[in-house]
Amino acid sequence: MRNFGSTRRIYKEVYQKVAKVELKQPIVQAIAEEIKDAQSVVLVDYRGLTVAQDTELRKQLREAGVVYKVYKNTMMKRAFEGTDFESLDSCLEGPSAIAISKDDATAPARILCNFAKDAPALELKGGVVEGTAYDIAGLTELAKIPSREVLLSRLLGSMQSPIANFARVIKQIAEKDGEAAPAEEAAAEAPAETAEAPAAEE
């Protein structure tokens, strides 16, 4: 009976472990899919944020196209295996939230760093941006880079500036030509009147 009870207990433990793995696997796959082709991933410790702060942070990230979720460290660690984000394993201590961007590489760092200025409870842990690992100091520097929309706007403005200047010069030339034309016409008509005068006297 003792052997039977011991064997039963072992089978139960094995079954529970297998069940846990099967339950975790879809979550690990979901994380792996989310970080696939991601330009940047940033980890933060969100403890201490109020409900209102958490809601506002999620709103800002969502509007920037950044995925923000809370996962268990063990699941993220498994999802990071064999990827550029494996270097973040050392940051997986304590509660962790992950911010993922596939479009704007600096968006997670920029939004999280700026938000942390007014919400000190939010602590950045580290991140990987375009394949390069960054610590907190590095992420803070990246946060100073303007958003893609701002950079594109500046680029467009710099491209339009020479065109606008050229158009302004052309307009000025056209206006000057317009002012000169009447004067030239008057000058051309004056000799004709003078030439006709002697004929009238005869």
Last residue of a domain, one of 130, 145, 160: 145
Task: Lowest mean pLDDT of 31-45, 70-84, 136-150, name the range.
Answer: 136-150
What pTM does this model have?
A: 0.64
- Do 141 and 151 sit in the same domain of this protein? no
Locate tokens 């206006």: which residue?
175
- Do 159 and 134 sit in the same domain of this protein? no
b/e per residue, 3-37, with b = 16+ CB within 10 A? eeeeeeeeeeeeeeeeeeeeeeeeebeebbebbee
**Run of H or E including 98:** strand 97-101
- Do 168 and 135 sit in the same domain of this protein? no
Judged on CB neighbours under 10 Å (0-12, 13-18, 19+), 39 is middle
- Do 103 and 71 sit in the same domain of this protein? yes
- Do 48 and 77 sit in the same domain of this protein? yes
- Do 180 and 199 sit in the same domain of this protein? yes
**Model confidence pLDDT, tens digit, residues 50-109:** 999 999 999 999 999 999 999 999 999 999 999 999 999 999 999 999 999 999 999 999
Q: Show the domain range for 19.
A: 2-145
b/e per residue, 81-103, with b = 16+ CB within 10 A? eebbbebbeebbeeebbbbbbbe
